[in-house]
Amino acid sequence: MHMAITARDSGIRGSQGKIAKLASRLVMAVLVQLLCGAAVPLVAQAETEPDSVYQAMGGGAGIKAIVGDFLQLVLADVRIKKTFLDADVEHLAMRLNEQFCELSGGPCKYGGKDMKTIHADLHITNAQFNALAEDLQLAMDKHGVPSSEQNKLLAKLAPMQHSIVTQ
């Protein structure tokens, strides 16, 4: 009997200790947030994460899958497929992965040529540019990327039109 009470007592004391530890951790966490000035903007930040497009695309693996489907669409698209006859598609996929990852806020750095140089001799028209953008949207649709997030990526690509279209 005596043993049981002692055991129960120490059990309570044990859980009180745990609660005290948890409480002090909570206080520390709040203090750290206050010191960093992060306590207030925490909620607002969640809506404007700099990598929200990257996340919506499914991260690195999602982007890889999207680029794969995108290139399949491009290579089958009668409006533009001729331009890719001499292209090294594997290399292109690797560079597009990097580029889309960086533009969507992911942890990558594009290491390819600049858009003007690489497309200079390809005689690309506005219609072809739009066809390629359409294929990209189809690929993102297929992978369930919400159109609001798609538009953010397309908005990053739009200014490149001046460098890519030469015809």
Task: In angstroms, give the least distance from the CB of 89 to ligand HEM.
Answer: 9
- Output Rg (C-alpha) for the chain, integer angstroms: 26
Task: In angstroms, give the least distance from the CB of 129 to ligand HEM.
Answer: 4
Cα–Cα distance for residue pair 64/67, rounded to 1 Å: 5
Please list every residue from 124 through 153 that binds ligand HEM, using CB under 6 A.
124, 128-129, 132
80 lies in the binding site for ligand HEM (CB under 6 A): yes
> What is the H or E stretch that residue 77 is in?
none
Cα–Cα distance for residue pair 32/36, rounded to 1 Å: 6
Q: Which residue is nearest to ligand HEM (CB)?
A: 112
Question: CB under 6 A: which stretch of 9-17, 21-29, 43-51, 82-90 binds ligand HEM?
Answer: 82-90
Q: Which two tokens stand for residue 64?
A: 């890889």
Residue 60's contacts (CB-CB under 8 Å, 6 or more residues apart) are: 97, 101, 106, 108
CA 152 to centroid of chain Cα atoms = 11
Q: What x/- string results for residues 87 through 126 when contact with ligand HEM is judged by CB under 6 A?
A: xx--xx--xx--x------------xx----xx--x-x--
- Binding residues for ligand HEM (CB under 6 A): 80, 83-84, 87-88, 91-92, 95-96, 99, 112-113, 118-119, 122, 124, 128-129, 132, 157, 160, 164
